[in-house]
Structures are given as C-alpha cells and as structure tokens.
C-alpha cells in the first residue's frame, strides 16, 4: 500500500490507522514518501505483539514505484469508478493500493491502472481501504498468526491470549512426565490431540491453546480418577502460571460438561463446568470421540446408564456442532 500526502503534524493518527487496516487485511508493506518515525514505531510494535509480516518503508520515488509495479496499481478515490462494477469486471492481481490524504497530484490518476471509488460520498481513507480489501479477500477476514498476543473470538467479554503463558508441546510432555503421567494416559492424550488437530483444521480455534489443552486435559488423573480430576488438573495448570484459558479447558472437558446444579450434587465447588468457547468445546468433544464412534457410543451409554441423561444430551449436542455423522 502506498500512502500519499501524509502530513506529520496532522496525519499521524489517520496514517497509523491506514497502516493498521492494511496489515489486518493481509498487506505486507506500507510505503511512505517520507518516513514518519512515530507511525513506523507504532505499526512495528503492533506487528511484533500481534503477529504477521508487516513493515513501513520509505519510497521517495513513489511515481517510479507506481510505474514499475508488477501487478495492478489501484488508486482509491471518491471520484473513481464504482467498486461493485470494478470487481464484477476485473480479477485483481498483486495490487498496489494507493491511498491519499490531502489532494493527490493529478498524475496519480494517470499512473494508476484503476481509479476506484468506494461510494461517492465523503468518508475516511481508512473506511475506503477496509471496504476494498474486504471485497478483494472475498469477504473473508485475513488470519494473522505467530504474534505474542492473540485476541480470541468470544460471544461476550474480552479474551486476549498471551502466548508466553501457553506451554509448548515439549513443555506439556515434560510436565506430564514430571507429574507421573503413565504411558496409557499419555497415549490417550495423543489420541485426543490427533482428533483435536483434525477438528481445528475444519473449525478453527487457537492452535497453540488446543495442542496444550489436548495434551494436558487429563493431567489431573495423576492425582485422582474421580469426577474432580478436571478441577485438580486446572489447579496444577494454575500453579505453573499458565493461562486461565488453558485452566478452563482442563476444568471443563469432562463428559458434556457439568452444570452448577450437577456440580453441587457431586460435591464439587458450586460453579458451571460446561465448555463455552470453541477451544473448550473442541477438547471436550475430542476427548469423547478420540477412540472413534464405538467409544463415543459407549460413553453415551455409560453416562445414561449412570442416570446422567442431561449430560449425555449435552455430549450429543456438542458432537452435532462439530460432526454430522455421530
């Protein structure tokens, strides 16, 4: 993306948000005719913390950049052709998106392969860039991995994952052995991991968190094989200083989850242990189905035989969220 007309005394915030939008929608670079250190530092900091591969570079010869670009040069302007008509008529390849601030030089219109208008009403260049990139990405939000921080999807509340607080697979294995997890339990955890990875590839969810959850969901069984093994495992995760997100996966993986009423009846601390977000649900379901359809049917039968019909129904409902043939 080429940002033209940046005025250091007036446009720091707007240019920063143009860069943030470019990064979030999958661009790799923002060119500025003259580097603004504060803008570059802010965007570099965001990239370092939240991942991706985005940089800010100085390009004094921006006309030469537009002329020599190996792809489509697209200038976003209120006076261009209609965006809907543009995408209905053109397949965009390796675009250089030109976004102005103040009035751009006339030759920008001539150097661009396409001058495209995101509506013909006054609004911000941030909005224009976001709408254009949304169409370019076929209305699919670009996914960025590998940052130190990840904002996780949530129906309510804020979920921010600090990756430094999620153990690696190696750390999970070391912790399991340190706590005395036997080969049988470890083999089961690996089966759950295999199932969870398959589900993650189909349904999403944070990969690092899912791997750790699969490997450590039964760590509490090194203390007890009772219904409280989820709680015991969660305490162990907390003692290690690992993220609360992982603690909840371990605590909420049993059966189809345990309601507050069921917890009180079982003598557990009175709160809900029903999985809520996609990572919690995925590990819970993977634990129920890692042995295949027969094991899942056995789990359902045993749960109903013990009189926990609501729990069995939750297991079935959870299965329907991820798979149609169970």
Tell me the pLDDT band of 254, cut-offs 50, 70 and 90: very high
Per-position b or e across 241-277, b if 16+ CB within 10 A of its CB:
ebbebbbbbbbbbbbbbbbeebbeeeebeeeebbbeb
Tell me the pLDDT band of 325, cut-offs 50, 70 and 90: low
Rounded to two decimals, what is the model's pTM? 0.78
Other beta carbons less than 10 A from residue 44's beta carbon: 14
Structure tokens at 273: 């242990």
pLDDT at position 146 over 80: no
pLDDT at position 167 over 80: yes
**Whole-number Cα distances in Å, 50 to 47, 96, 163, 170, 245:** 5, 24, 10, 23, 18
- C-alpha dihedral (285, 289, 295, 299), degrees to nearest 10: 0
Maximum alpha-carbon separation in the chain: 78
Predicted local distance difference test score (pLDDT) of residue 102: 80
Among 67-81, 137-151, 262-276, 287-301, where is mean pLDDT lowest?
Answer: 137-151
Tell me the pLDDT band of 27, cut-offs 50, 70 and 90: very high
pLDDT at position 11 over 70: yes
Looking at every residue in the chain, the average pLDDT score rounds to 94
Predicted local distance difference test score (pLDDT) of residue 212: 98
pLDDT at position 252 over 80: yes
Which CATH topology does 2-136 take?
A: Alpha/beta knot (3.40.1280)
The domain over range 149-322 is classified in CATH as 1.10.10: no
- How far apart, in whole angstroms, are the C-alpha atoms of residue 87 and residue 185? 54
pLDDT at position 326 over 70: no
Tell me the pLDDT band of 75, cut-offs 50, 70 and 90: very high
Domain with CATH 3.40.1280.10 in the chain: 2-136
Predicted local distance difference test score (pLDDT) of residue 292: 87
pLDDT at position 21 over 90: yes
Domain with CATH 1.10.3210 in the chain: 149-322
């Amino acid at each position: 993306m080429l940002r033209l007309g940046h005025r250091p005394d007036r446009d720091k915030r707007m240019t920063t948000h143009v860069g943030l939008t470019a990064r979030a929608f999958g661009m790799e670079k923002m060119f500025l005719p003259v580097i603004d250190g504060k803008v570059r530092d802010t965007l570099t900091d965001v990239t370092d913390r939240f991942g991706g591969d985005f940089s800010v570079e100085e390009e004094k010869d921006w006309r030469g950049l537009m002329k020599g670009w190996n792809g489509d040069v697209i200038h976003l302007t209120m006076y261009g052709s209609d965006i809907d008509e543009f995408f209905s008529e053109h397949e965009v390849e390796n675009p250089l998106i030109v976004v102005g601030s103040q009035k751009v030089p006339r030759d920008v219109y001539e150097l661009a392969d396409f001058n495209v208008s995101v509506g013909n009403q006054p609004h911000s260049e941030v909005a224009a860039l976001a709408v254009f990139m949304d169409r370019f990405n076929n209305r699919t939000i670009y996914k960025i991995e590998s940052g130190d921080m990840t904002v996780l999807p949530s129906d309510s509340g804020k979920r921010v994952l600090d990756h430094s607080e999620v153990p690696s697979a190696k750390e999970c294995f070391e912790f399991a052995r340190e706590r005395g997890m036997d080969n049988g339990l470890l083999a089961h955890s690996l089966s759950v991991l295999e199932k969870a990875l398959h589900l993650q590839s189909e349904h999403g969810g944070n990969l690092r968190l899912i791997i750790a959850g699969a490997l450590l969901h039964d760590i509490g069984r090194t203390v007890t094989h009772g219904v409280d093994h989820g709680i015991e495992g969660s305490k162990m995760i907390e003692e290690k200083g690992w993220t609360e997100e992982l603690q909840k996966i371990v605590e909420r993986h049993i059966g189809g989850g345990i309601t507050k009423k069921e917890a009180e009846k079982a003598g557990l601390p009175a709160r809900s242990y029903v999985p809520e977000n996609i990572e919690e649900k995925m590990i819970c379901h993977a634990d129920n189905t890692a042995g295949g359809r027969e094991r899942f049917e056995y789990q359902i039968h045993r749960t109903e035989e013990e009189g926990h019909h609501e729990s069995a129904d939750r297991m079935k409902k959870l299965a329907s969220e991820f798979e149609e043939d169970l």
